[in-house]
Amino acid sequence: MGEFADKAVIITGSARGIGREIAAAFIQEGARVVISDVDAGACAETAAALGGQAEAIPANVTVKSEVENLVKQTKEKLGSVDVLVNNAGVTRDALFIRLKEEDWDLVLNINLKGTFLASQAAAGVMLKQRSGKIVNIASVSGLFGNAGQANYASSKAGVVALTKVMARELAPRNINVNAIAPGFIVTAMTDKLSAEIKENINKQIPFGRMGEVKDIADAVLFLASERASYITGQTIAVCGGLTMQS
Ligand SMILES: NC(=O)c1ccc[n+]([C@@H]2O[C@H](COP(=O)([O-])OP(=O)(O)OC[C@H]3O[C@@H](n4cnc5c(N)ncnc54)[C@H](O)[C@@H]3O)[C@@H](O)[C@H]2O)c1
pLDDT digit string (tens) for 209-224?
Answer: 999 999 999 999 999 9
At residue 16, does pLDDT exceed 70? yes
CATH number corresponding to 8-238? 3.40.50.720
Q: What are phi and psi of 104, to 5 degrees?
A: -60, -50
Write out pLDDT tens, residues 37-55: 999 999 999 999 999 899 9
pLDDT at position 143 over 90: yes
Q: How far is the CA of 17 from the centre of ligand 1 (A)?
A: 7
> 23 with 14: CB under 8 angstroms?
yes
Q: Which of 38, 108, 192, 205 to mutate for ligand 1's pocket (most ligand atoms within 8 Å of CB)?
A: 38
Chain Cα centroid distance, residue 3: 20
Most ligand 1 atoms within 8 A of CB, residue of 189, 193, 205, 210 to mutate = 189
The pLDDT of residue 246: 60
Going by their DSSP bridges, the two strands 32-36 and 132-137 should be labelled as unpaired
pLDDT in tens, 187-198: 987 888 899 999
Q: What residue owns the CA closest to ligand 1's atom 21?
A: 17
Alpha carbon 65 to its chain centroid, in Å, reads: 20
Residues 3-18 as b or e (16 or more Cβ within 10 Å = b)? bbeebbbbbbbbbbbb
Averaged over 239-244, what is the pLDDT? 95
Q: Is the CB of 136 under 6 A from ligand 1?
A: no
Beta strands 54-56 and 32-36 are parallel
Q: What is the average pLDDT across 165-174?
A: 98
Residue among 37, 84, 159 to mutate when testing ligand 1 (max atoms within 8 A of CB): 37
Alpha-carbon dihedral 213, 21, 214, 118, rounded to 10 degrees = 80
- Ligand 1 centroid to Cα of residue 66, in Å, is 18
Mean pLDDT for the stretch of residues 5-30? 97
The pLDDT of residue 130 is above 90:
yes
Please work out whether the CB of residue 87 comes within 6 Å of at least one atom of ligand 1. yes
Residue ranges of domains in the chain: 8-238
Q: Whose CA is nearest to atom 2 of ligand 1?
A: 185
Cα–Cα dist 163/165, whole Å: 6
Q: Full-prediction pTM beyond 0.95?
A: yes
